[in-house]
Amino acid sequence: MRIIILGAGFGGLRLARKLNNKPGFDITLIDRHNYHQFQPLFYQVATAGLDASNISFPLRKVFHNSRNVKIRLADVQEILPAQNKVRTDAGEFEYDALVIATGADTNFFGNSNLARHAFPMKSTVEALQIRNRLLHNFEEAVLLKDAAAMQSYMNIVVVGGGPTGVELSGAIADMKRFQLPKDFPELDFSQMNIYLLEGTGKTLGMMSQKSSDKSGRYLKELGVTVMTNALLQDYDGKKVTLKNGQVIETNIVIWAAGIKGNVPEGIDKRLITRGNRILVNDYCQVNGHDKIYAIGDVACMGEKGHPQVAPVAMQQADLLAYNFLHVGKRTPKTFKYKDKGSMATVGRNLAVVDIPKPKLQLGGLLAWMIWMFLHLMLILGVKNRFFVFCNWLYNYFTYDQNLRLIFKQFYKEKH
């Protein structure tokens, strides 16, 4: 059975590993990168807490001892359902089953100015670009004499009060407290402002009210200005304009306010729903196609779809692996999402955790330790876990981070 998997994120990689060395399967894993990226820790790369290599793992190393998994580095150009083929810039590939696990990308909701000037954080390279811009802003501020011009370099705006925005804002606040004043003694960091803009009435809207309240309180204690019901209207590269007319002068906007599915060409537009997601049935099959499947962030099962988080993608991969392995032997299983909880870290010793069964809400140091342990266990590779753990230990006991480096090749100016 020739199976093509598009995308080596949490879902695609999990499926390939589940079918690795299983007799009767020929797997081709196609991705534009030759590595797996651990997205939950992008914000630590962006704030100089971790090196990019610590959260990236070479795909070919994962399958060193594989007899049936091939890795192909390519960009998908089009799916040809009638021919059971996938066309890429590296050639065409035939399949008996196709699994679309291409994940999601930043959604700027059609605002071209935001797309041009704001910094997204959906890849390792984008996280490095944010780190470079953050550090470069302070290097520029040191050279300025005009107070107003300097202030725009000292104002940081994060848009989106979900886990990514909350974690990033808290990490920048920790930099402000512990590292930046030592790096730039010429600057008055009491004048540095971190704004977190959230369009709804609370941060961490997908979590419990208690977690939402705690996250807002923690952020305020860290010195982050949390602005709820704040809708960003425009950003021209120099100033943010809100729907209520308020203006914030800033040279950096980090966009964490929305995502959209990466749908390959060739999928019937009638099968694409809200959030640019592909409609699938309870078996993860794309509606109307018995040989094409979609899992993870790009798939929409049911009226609203499941949350676009890693556990959903991994559980859907497990379901597909089971059904593929038992074709003709057992009745295929349908997908039922098992919510094991959600969590977000806010800053040093601060996090929130929601556990559905038994129903628990945790906060503070205990939640922070649970968050660290679970994320450490999810990282691919013993070496990566070791280096991440060592970095965390070093940062915790020294109140310092040794990765505040500006790499010019990754520095992307927004025009």
pLDDT for 204 equals: 93
| Catalytic residue selected from 167, 186, 249, 265 | 167
- Of the candidates 267, 336, 326, which has an alpha carbon nearest to the alpha carbon of residue 306? 336
What burial class does residue 83 get, using C-beta atoms within 10 Å of its C-beta: 0-12 exposed, 13-18 middle, 19+ buried?
A: exposed
Is residue 358 reached through a cis peptide bond, with omega within 30 degrees of 0 on the bond before it? Answer: yes
Residue 267: the pLDDT is 95
Strand order in the sheet with 76-80: 76-80, 85-88, 91-94
Alpha carbon 406 to its chain's center: 22
Instruction: Copy the structure tokens of residue 86.
Output: 């996938």
Task: Give DSSP secondary structure letters for 315-335.
Answer: HHHHHHHHHHHTTTTSPPPPP
Mean pLDDT by runs of 10 across the 415 residues of the chain is 96 96 96 94 94 92 95 96 95 97 93 94 93 94 91 96 95 95 94 95 92 95 95 93 94 94 95 95 94 96 91 96 92 93 94 92 94 91 89 90 76 50
**Gap between the Cα atoms of 86 and 32, Å rounded:** 14
Question: HSE on the CB side for 253, CA within 13 Å?
Answer: 29
Please state, in angstroms and rounded to a whole number, the distance separating the CA atoms of residues 262 and 20. Answer: 25
Helix (H) or strand (E) holding 310, with range, is helix 310-325
Q: What is the pTM of this model?
A: 0.91
The string of pLDDT tens digits covering residues 355-380 is: 998 889 999 999 999 999 999 998 98
C-alpha triplet 392, 209, 234: angle, nearest 5°? 75
Rounded (5°) CA angle 31-35-38: 110
Give the chain's largest Cα–Cα span. 75
Structure tokens at 37: 């990226």
Cα angle value 183/405/343 (rounded, 5°) = 90
Q: What is the pLDDT of residue 414?
A: 52
Considering Cα of 42, then 214, then 255, then 103, what sign does the dihedral take? positive
**Sign of the Cα pseudo-torsion (204, 208, 212, 218, in order):** negative
The 8-class DSSP code of residue 264 comes to: P
Q: Which amino acid appears at position 319 of this protein?
A: L
- Residues 244, 256: contact at Cβ < 8 Å? no
**Tokens 């820790």 -> residue:** 41
pLDDT of residue 358: 85
Whether 167 is catalytic: yes
- For residue 9, give the nearest of 330, 358, 299, 216 by alpha carbon: 299
- Encoding tokens for residue 200? 């709804």
Supply angle C-alpha 273, 277, 280, rounded to 5.
85
| Through-space distance between the first and last CA atoms of the chain, rounded to whole angstroms | 48
Single-letter amino acid code for the residue at 116 = R
Residues 128 and 407: beta-carbon distance below 8 Å = yes
| pLDDT for the residue numbered 183 | 94
Alpha carbons 373 and 367: distance in angstroms, whole number: 10
Q: What is the pLDDT of residue 148?
A: 87
